[in-house]
Amino acid sequence: AKGLGKNQQCLYDEEMGLQEVRKMELEKDLQRALEMKEFFIVYQPKWNVQSDRLVGFEALLRWKHPRLGVISPQEFIPIAEETGLIIPMTRWTLEEACKQCRVWQDSGVVQPVSVNLSVRLFHGDNLLELIQNVLHKADLEPRLLELEITESMVLHDVNDIIRQLGSIRSLGVKVSMDDFGTGYSSIGLLDRIPIDALKLDRQFTNDLDTPSKRAIVNAVVLMAEKLNLDVIAEGVENKEHIDFLTGLGCHVMQGYYYGKPMDIHEIEVWMYDQDHK
Ligand code: C2E
Ligand code: CA
Ligand code: CA
Ligand code: CA
């Protein structure tokens, strides 16, 4: 038993070591990844079930590491946030997504694209100015850009973030609250934070087994309605999810059922398929 314990300890240390080494490696490589154009964006459709129409795309970042392959944002975004690289990375993502949105618009697909923001953006240089510049450069109407923020962002410097969001929204840019209902709850702030929509986290969409879980989702949808907020259900994977959500009056969905995040070529094929169904 003693020997086993020792082995386990050994494996554990090795494991931690590997994780640390990988993190340090990614940290170092992240610096160059932007210049080397190793990032690309995948787009996931948002679908309105009632009108049976595409209503937008979410831009999700991917990193194609030359040696390690495609790396998930869940792994590299936290590192980018720690190092501050998230700011130039988000600027790039905004520029690319707006450029792509303009390309779609020119081809007749006039749908907004949403980009995830990290809290660091609110503490860096003027975010409003950054957004204005990006829109100008892409020649994109502000109503075609949406920003996704999370509840935890609003915990600190509430007033400052409210002020910044207010001025960004007055451009016509939309703002939605991502992952709503997970982590820190901002329910008490919902009437003060200037947003257009709530995104119901996929944790809720995927866990509708008990009456109490369903009651929570029901309450969130009702509350959003009263507050004049749209609701977008995330992680919609099957017909059961759709039936339940539409029954509650939630009509906009995002999830594997409608489409996975896709690169621009895959999106083109996907859009063609939708038109020829
Ligand atoms: P998120 O903003 O909540 O994005 C939704 C995530 O759920 C995406 O994972 C998407 O691929 C996944 N997803 C969508 N539909 C389904 C479904 O039906 N089932 C399941 N199981 N999953 C689904 P992804 O692309 O790995 O992104 C993970 C997180 O990384 C994002 O969560 C977001 O917080 C962050 N992220 C991604 N791109 C960016 C970015 O450009 N900037 C920032 N700051 N964060 C980003
Ligand atoms: Ca998001
Ligand atoms: Ca989300
Ligand atoms: Ca999430």
Q: Residue 109: what are its φ and ψ, rounded to 5°?
A: -100, 100
Instruction: Determine the number of helices (DSSP H) and then strands (DSSP E) in the chain.
Output: 10, 9
Question: Among candidates 151, 82, 85, 149, which has minimal Cα distance to 122?
Answer: 149
Q: Which atom of ligand 1 is nearest to the CA of 199?
A: 3
**What's the pLDDT score for residue 1?**
41
Question: Going by CA atoms, what residue is nearest to atom 10 of ligand 1?
Answer: 261
Q: How confident is the model at residue 91 (pLDDT cuts 50, 70, 90)?
A: very high
73 lines ligand 1 (CB under 6 A): yes
Query: For residues 180 and 199, is the Cβ–Cβ distance under 8 A?
Result: yes
98 lines ligand 1 (CB under 6 A): no
Cα(46)–Cα(253) distance, integer angstroms: 6
More confident residue, 211 or 125: 211
ipTM, two decimals? 0.97
Quick one: CA dihedral 78, 83, 86, 89, positive or negative? negative
Cα(194)–Cα(94) distance, integer angstroms: 21
- Assign 3-state DSSP to the chain and report helix, strand, coil percentages, each to 5: 50, 20, 30
**What's the pLDDT score for residue 11?**
56
Instruction: For ligand 4, an ion, list residues with CB under 5 A.
Output: 179
More confident residue, 19 or 1: 19
**Whether the predicted pLDDT of 9 surpasses 60:** no
Contacts of 28 (CB under 8 A, 6+ apart): none
Left (φ > 0), alpha (ψ -120 to 50) or beta: where does 179 sit? left
Query: For residues 160 and 122, is the Cβ–Cβ distance under 8 A?
Result: yes
**What's the pLDDT score for residue 181?**
83
181 lines ligand 1 (CB under 6 A): no
For 84-104, the DSSP string reads STHHHHHHHHHHHHHHHHHHH
**What's the pLDDT score for residue 169?**
98
For the segment 48-61, what is each residue's pLDDT rounded down to a tens digit?
Answer: 999 999 999 999 99
For the segment 153-207, what is each residue's pLDDT rounded down to a tens digit?
Answer: 888 889 999 999 999 999 999 999 999 988 677 788 888 999 999 999 999 888 8
Q: How confident is the model at residue 271 (pLDDT cuts 50, 70, 90)?
A: very high
**DSSP E strand boundaries for the chain:** 39-48, 53-65, 69-71, 113-116, 145-150, 174-180, 197-200, 230-233, 252-253
Q: Which atom of ligand 1 is nearest to the CA of 74?
A: 30
- The angle at the Cα of 60, spanning 194 to 88, to the nearest 5 degrees, equals 80
Ligand number nearest CA of 117 is 1
235 lines ligand 1 (CB under 6 A): yes
Contacts of 164 (CB under 8 A, 6+ apart): 122, 127, 128
Q: Is 232 helix (H, G, I), strand (E, B) or coil?
A: strand
60 lines ligand 1 (CB under 6 A): yes
Cα(180)–Cα(186) distance, integer angstroms: 9
**What's the pLDDT score for residue 13?**
59
164 lines ligand 1 (CB under 6 A): no
